[in-house]
Structure 1
Amino acid sequence: MPDAAPHRTSETPVLAFFDVDNTLMRGASVFYVGREAWRRGLISFRDIAVFAWHQFRFLAVGENRSHLAEAKERALGLVSGHTEEGLIALAHDIYDRDIAPNLWPETVALTKEHLAKGHEVWLVTATPQLVADVISSRLGLTGSIGTKVEALDGVFTGALDGHVLHGDEKAVVARQFADARGASLAECWAYSDSSNDIPLLTMVGNRVVVNPDAKLLAHAREQGWEVLPLKRSSIREAQRRLKREK
């Protein structure tokens, strides 16, 4: 986790990359996209049942490449034919209803620590860019790097613009982004729960594994990486505080 270094004033940026699903929040954000689409009558009950199954599997055993690919394909199908403006509004509703109550307070606090030190905090995620942008904006982070979906004249086609940011692809994009920003990877940070993000975690000088899956936990212990375990009770307490403040 960030040390007690003073506020950074150097022109060379330090970037902190945060995964979203099960790192910044509990569960898979794409599931909530599907559930909100079902609430609005955009997809069938069968579709939401499939999304629910992927969510259960993700929480129980972590990411699975084939399940993730199917979920992403279904999510892309949801946006086809819808306007950017309409889906931004939907993303804000998803944030308020489903994402905010499931944020890990400890991980959110780490983003704030990085910002206080003058670091840039970027979400880097397979989550659609539009949703990632809303999460980043609502949390006051620097920005997001997500999976891009093709849009023509402000209407989504349902096709990818590039690749799903997952595994090696996420690391490649993050490296290119850091190079473009003039950042030294040795000074950068990365946070993730998934063994699929080992390439991202390996390429930076500072990494923290958050609620790691079994494979990542074994790798982290072997490499001497910092491990941050989280408990659902922290989310429940945050939810209670939110209700008291309302």
Structure 2
Amino acid sequence: MNLVLFDLDNTLLNGDSDFEWAQFLIEQGVLDRELFEAKNLAFYEQYKAGTLDIHEFLDFQLKPLSRHSRKVLNGWRDDFMWTKVRGMISTPAQELVARHRTAGDMCIIITATNSFVTSPIAREFGVEHLIATEPEEIDGEFTGSVTGVPCFREGKVTRLESWLEQHNWGWGTFVASFFYSDSLNDLPLLGKVSHPVAVDPDATLRKHAEQHGWPILTLR
């Protein structure tokens, strides 16, 4: 059995669900446009440049979850899936995931975006296993903080290896390991798998992939 890892934003999705979730809340009037839109854009540019302070960003992204009930948040998330996310899912991305699932591979979506936003997206792709940044909850309501290690950069390696250990698996359990990603931020995990694949990569990842002979593909 192979281990197959998929980054989500700008890899399986033609867009960034983290960024779009904040924009959606701004459009709904939940977040003040004047206060939040410029910050959201700035954080997104920092992410693309590889300079993002993940804890500063998570404070920005998770705090709004603590101000509303889970029932209300779930309703907004359903609307977000219909109005934003489904339009970011391409047929080639669905086909890629389906090929690996049909082959019997262990498929995991591994993403820095929090699990509240991404769990329905993983289900849309038919992927059972999701490793994501985890918002803290108390009695089913979000506190605005994060639980454990954020699933970002080296944190993706930490979270994945912890997940494998919990299932009594390790890298050696699998015949081969694949990771599909678009981002320079995923170089730590791309360097751990036996088959790294650059998907519509940013300039830094494209250069690295070309230098190391990694496959480059598009899902657009």
TM range (shorter): 0.7 to 0.9
- Counterparts of residues 122-137 of structure 1 (less than 5 Å): 122-137=108-123
**In 1, distance between residues paired with 2:180 and 2:66?**
31
**Which among 78, 88, 91 is matched to residue 105 of structure 1?**
91
Q: Matches of 1:85 and 1:171 in 2, distance apart? A: 33
The alignment status of 1:221 with 2:210, answered yes or no, reads yes
The whole-number CA distance in structure 1 between the counterparts of 2:175 and 2:14 is 29
- Cα offset for 1:23? 0.6
**C-alpha distance 105-63 of structure 1, shift in aligned 2 (>3 A):** farther
| Maintained 8 Å contact 1:192/1:209 | yes
Please give the root-mean-square deviation of Cα atoms over the aligned residues, in Å: 2.4
Question: For structure 1, which runs of at least 5 residues remain unmatched after alignment?
Answer: 1-12, 232-246
Corresponding residue of 2:197: 208
State the TM-score, normalizing by the size of structure 1.
Answer: 0.78
Paired residue for 1:24?
Answer: 12
Matched, 1:39 2:27: yes
Match of 1:150 among 132, 136, 139: 136
Q: 1:171 aligns with which of 157, 163, 178?
A: 157
1:26-85, CA deviations, whole angstroms, 9 ceiling, x for partnerless residues? 222112211222233321012442256248747xx9353337655433211211132333
- Partner AA of 1:223 in structure 2: H
- The equivalent residue for 1:75 is 61
Higher RCO, 1 vs 2 (CA within 8 Å, ≥6 residues apart) = 2
C-alpha change, 1:210 and 1:168, in structure 2 (3 Å) is same
Alpha-carbon shift at residue 136 of structure 1 (Å): 0.7
Question: What is the TM-score of this pair, normalised by structure 2?
Answer: 0.87
Gaps of 5+ in 2: none
Contact 2:179 2:196 in 1 (8 A): yes
Q: CA deviation at 1:106?
A: 2.1
Moved more, 164-173 or 102-111: 102-111
- Cα gap change, 1:157 to 1:17, in 2 (>3 Å): same
The aligned residue for residue 190 of structure 1 is 179
Matches of 1:78 and 1:193, distance apart in 2: 28
CA contact (8 A) 2:12 2:219 kept: no
Counterpart contact for 1:54–1:71, Cα < 8 Å: no
Is the 2:152–2:185 Cα contact (8 Å) retained in structure 1? yes
* 8 Å Cα contact 2:200/2:218 also seen in 1: yes
8 Å CA contact 2:182–2:198 kept in 1: the answer is: yes
Q: Distance in 2 between matches of 1:126 and 1:69?
A: 11
Whether contact under 8 Å (1:28, 1:55) holds in the other structure is: no
Instruction: Name the structure 2 match of 1:238.
Output: none
Residues 25 and 147 of structure 1: is their aligned pair in 2 closer, same or farther, counting only changes over 3 Å? same
